[in-house]
Amino acid sequence: MTEMYQLDVASAATSASLEKTHPGGKYVRKASEFMHFVGTDRFPAEAGRYHLYVSMACPWAAGVLSALYLKGLEKVISVSVVHPTWQRTRPDDPNDKHNGWVFRNPGDAPLSNALGFGKFDCDDACVPDPVFGAETLRDVYEAGGAKLFKFSTPLLLDKKTKTIVNNESSQLLRMFNSAFNDFAEHPEVDLFPEAQEAALESFNDFIYPDINDGVYKCGFAKSQEAYEEAMVALFAALDRVEAHLATSRYLTDAPQGLTWIDLRLYHTLVRFDPVYHTYFHTNLKRIEADYPNLLGFVRDVWQTFEGVRRATNIKHFVEHYYSSHPVLNTYAIVPMSRGPDLTVPHGRAPNVDAPTTLQGHDAADTTVVTTASAKDVQLPRGSLGAATPGSAAGDAVPQADVGAGAA
């Protein structure tokens, strides 16, 4: 086990391989391979035909899963959820070092990281692959026709033809917003309001590269310069959003409040203090201590939108990052903090119209104007866990079950 780790570090550190994957030490995300759309002759919109693979740890997949819940597509698109801890996907081949997502049944034996350290249980959120009975997401990609060596979530598969439709979250969000409206329980929910399109794009122009992807650029940088450049951009962008959210409840004035860009921002921010601040070295400021408006925004979105809350699995995302990259965290030690208490009243002033299906409860219920610190308000932490896909709202994992490195 230890030998493999030494080999990995040695091969990762040669400047030739670094230049290929990290020009100038910078982390560059690989492009998605599949970009087909549902609603075409090849992939018509049908209930029961498509299957979504997600990791509840992955911010991109969690955004797509939020959209699935918000639109009421649970009976239309089936879902598999991978285990949070990456495993060797070809353990019998000493030359194949790929480490990636695997499927497990709830109650299966706990998994350790690829070096054999740590113990991470197979909890009720794990949902195995019903299409191929695959053990790994890599197997699903290969069965579905993948050519590139990238096996990421989210992934949408056509069960009828057993081919991959799309693995790009921004496109899946758009697809779920409109392509299945004939079957959706909430066709009226609109995460892509046309009137706000320009504003949404201009937010995305810096939120995606500097915040969503920005935290990864900090965490996966392989040179000090690349890390510092990403850090400067990240905190400038966070400061900018913090200032904007001082006068606006959500990012835009969309009539239903939440949009796809709020969703993307939320799923990065909710991971920020418990994961990125420490693991990705994004430690100039913390959301809980330094960004009252971002903190209020995260709590607001979590409290107001049941679909988002159900797609927020703190246990999975904390365990995933700390157990999946042995080069960064050899012994899979998981820090104890789970981040801010999301049950503390969010204190955001309502500036959107009457509640719609998107609004889980009336904004007027939450009248606190200042943002209380989790340390000041001791609320039961039982509701911090996430519901399993398909389970009822508020069916949360008790906090006691999501302790560090819960086994």
Ligand X SMILES: N[C@@H](CCC(=O)N[C@@H](CS)C(=O)NCC(=O)O)C(=O)O
| Contact positions with ligand X (CB under 6 A) in 151-170 | 151-154, 167-169
What count of other Cβ atoms lies within 10 Å of the Cβ of residue 264?
25
Question: Exposure of 250 by Cβ count < 10 A (0-12 exposed, 13-18 middle, 19+ buried)?
Answer: buried
150 is a site residue for ligand X (CB under 6 A) = yes
Largest CA distance in the chain: 60
175 is a site residue for ligand X (CB under 6 A) = no
Q: Which of 22, 27, 32, 262 is close enough to bind ligand X by CB under 6 A?
A: 32
Among residues 53, 58, 126, 141, which one is catalytic? Answer: 58
256 is a site residue for ligand X (CB under 6 A) = no
Smallest distance, ligand X to C-beta of residue 222, A = 17
Sequence letter at residue 220: F
Nearer to ligand X, 168 or 341 (CB): 168
Which helix (H) or strand (E) segment holds residue 50: the answer is strand 50-54
Smallest distance, ligand X to C-beta of residue 61, A = 7
85 is a site residue for ligand X (CB under 6 A) = no
Smallest distance, ligand X to C-beta of residue 331, A = 22
Closest CA to 315 of 365, 270, 363: 270
Question: Exposure of 374 by Cβ count < 10 A (0-12 exposed, 13-18 middle, 19+ buried)?
Answer: middle
- What CA–CA distance (Å, rounded) separates 85 from 100? 8
| Contact positions with ligand X (CB under 6 A) in 47-66 | 55, 58, 60
281 is a site residue for ligand X (CB under 6 A) = no
- What CA–CA distance (Å, rounded) separates 64 from 186? 15
Question: Exposure of 11 by Cβ count < 10 A (0-12 exposed, 13-18 middle, 19+ buried)?
Answer: exposed
Contact window for ligand X (CB under 6 A) among 144-152, 185-193, 219-227, 390-398: 144-152
33 is a site residue for ligand X (CB under 6 A) = no
How is the chain split among helix, strand and coil, in percent rounded to 5?
40, 5, 55
Nearer to ligand X, 55 or 293 (CB): 55
The verdict on whether 58 is a catalytic residue reads yes
Size of the site for ligand X (CB under 6 A): 13
Nearer to ligand X, 285 or 320 (CB): 320
Nearer to ligand X, 168 or 273 (CB): 168
Nearer to ligand X, 35 or 393 (CB): 35
Smallest distance, ligand X to C-beta of residue 146, A = 11
Which helix (H) or strand (E) segment holds residue 78: the answer is strand 77-81
- Three-class secondary structure of residue 99 per DSSP: strand
DSSP 355-386: --SS-SS-GGG----S---TTTS---GGGGS-
Nearer to ligand X, 168 or 262 (CB): 168
257 is a site residue for ligand X (CB under 6 A) = no
Active site residues: 58, 216
Which residues contact ligand X by CB under 6 A? 32, 55, 58, 60, 100, 150-154, 167-169
